[in-house]
Chain A
Amino acid sequence: MNKFMSVLEDILLPIADKLNNNRYLTALRNGFMVALPLIIFGSIFVVIANLPFLDRLIGEEAYATYQNALGPASAATLSIMGLFVIIGIGFKMVEQRGGEAIYGGVVALASFLVLTPQILEETAGVIPTSALGAEGMFLGIFTAFISAELYQLFVRKNLTIKMPAGVPDAVSRSFSALIPITLTLSIFLLIRIAFSFTAFETVQNFIYTLIQQPLTALGSGLPATIIAVLLIQVFWFFGLHGQIIINSVFDPIWYSLNEQNLSAFQAGEPLPNIVTKQFMDTFIVGIGGSGMTLAVIAAIFVVTKSRQLRELGKLGGPAGIFNVNEPVIFGLPIIMNPLVIIPWLLAPVIVAIVTYFAMDLGFAPKPAGLIVPWTTPALLSGYLATGNNIMGAVMQLINMAIVFVIWLPFLKVLDNQYYREEQSVQATA
């Protein structure tokens, strides 16, 4: 068993290293981090705009005025999150290499806008906000990568205007970006023109149809979700941060699916997707952290008698409420512990399947597309993520019960083992 595990770790560690230290994936992850405060700001106002019972309290008309007044908060942030992700990625791409990062941000944004349709139903001079949200997400990510690389390539090639000595540094710097940016944006303009002669008409349409739609369709399905959940658990079993590794690949898909639900939610239409960013964060991970260990902590308090586990419960409980569970993962321990590998891998998969079908059948509401910070305690997060729906919290409670039951027999075995050790140490002392 030990040999097998060390072989597996030798395989996983380089994968984690590659995924986490890959230049593009790092920029992608950190780019999303840049957008996150804005996304959460928008989400807060979606929650406030959709407070339950308010329409009955103040009347339909006043409620509509109230919603209209708050609308711009999420329309300017959450609904066009693609923009901020693009700036973030472009910035981080250049920052990594020690260049002037702000130019990376603006060149990525401008390149994306060059490729974006600037006409809507025959009205020129309009950029549809849908292009800046979910639909433009993948195009935006690719554009940010490519434009930042091109910009840096042209900077490295020294295609900059050299100012004579005596010109203030700031002045020469403003010129130094001129040629690389001009060349980069010209290339994107050519790409746009080239695509206007194809059947796709826009690059956006091309990427959306050929890459984004198939990928998100795949990612919204149960099989891909189970694979993602399993991979997260396997990485964590070896003490490697599963989400941060897997999310850097899945986030673009999960966020796009999320955005689709958000626009449907705000338009009062049926929500198209079950699997979204919040499906993962709220219903699979957000119950005490990866592996939903809040239920494990609850089980520790209910059934264990060994000092070691009870101490762990006290230590890990407060952090677990806010979905930080490293004390449990390293303290139980879950890592490399063959006794708990079955519940560790099985419970989240069962929960994912149950939640998926509960939402599919309409028992539980689908995530409404707003982003709840991952440190939000369980039950509250389920309520908020489903657009102020108490059934979201009920679903989380059911998930907790499932994890609790699956863990119980294994926890008992572990507890007995610890308890016997403690007794024998006491006896010899």
Chain B
Amino acid sequence: MKKILLACSSGMSTSLLVTKMEEEAAKRGEEVKIWAVAQDKAEHDMEEADVLLIGPQMRFMKKKFAVTAEKVGIPLDVIDPVAYGRVDGAAVLNKAFDLIEQG
């Protein structure tokens, strides 16, 4: 099972993405756990995740999150703004899987 953590300012707009990504994963028959949190909870939840994706509006948090991510040993990146705006579950899911594979 792949565990994908999304973080934005309050976990609201990323939670829109969660639904779309879950739909896409179900379509592909992939087993996933996807959840969205507010930025102050992200570091705590990273321990349970395989990858962290950050909402583009919070991209200035990447540097800070990278420290914890390295400690926990998971990859992280900022979600592409276009995919974010379209709430494109497939594109973001692909990105998450790529990151997990690359480690």
Interface residues of A (CB under 8 A from B): 13, 16-17, 20-21, 26, 29-30, 33, 236, 239-241, 243-244, 312, 315, 319, 322, 324-333, 335, 375
Contacts and interface: CB of A to CB of B under 8 A. Distances in A.
Contacts of A236: 57
B81 A333 contact: yes
Contacts of B29: none
B81 A30 contact: no
Contacts of B84: 326, 330
Give the bracket for the number of chain B residues in contact with chain A.
Answer: 20 to 34
Given A329-B57, A329-B85, A331-B85, A21 B64 contact: yes
Interface of B: 8-9, 12-13, 16, 39-40, 55-61, 63-64, 81-82, 84-87
A90 B91 CA distance: 41
B56 A239 contact: yes
Contacts of A325: 13
A326 B60 contact: no
Given A16-B60, A21-B60, A330 B9 contact: no
Contacts of A329: 57, 85
Nearest to A374: B10
B81 A330 contact: yes
Contacts of B8: 241, 326
Nearest to A30: B40
A29 B61 CA distance: 14
B57 A324 contact: no
Lowest 4 A-B CB distances belong to which pairs? A330-B85, A331-B85, A326-B13, A16-B60
Contacts of A30: 40
A21 B63 contact: yes
Contacts of A332: 85
A240 to B, nearest CB: 6
B82 A324 contact: no
B28 to A, nearest CB: 22
Contacts of A312: 85
A333 B60 contact: no
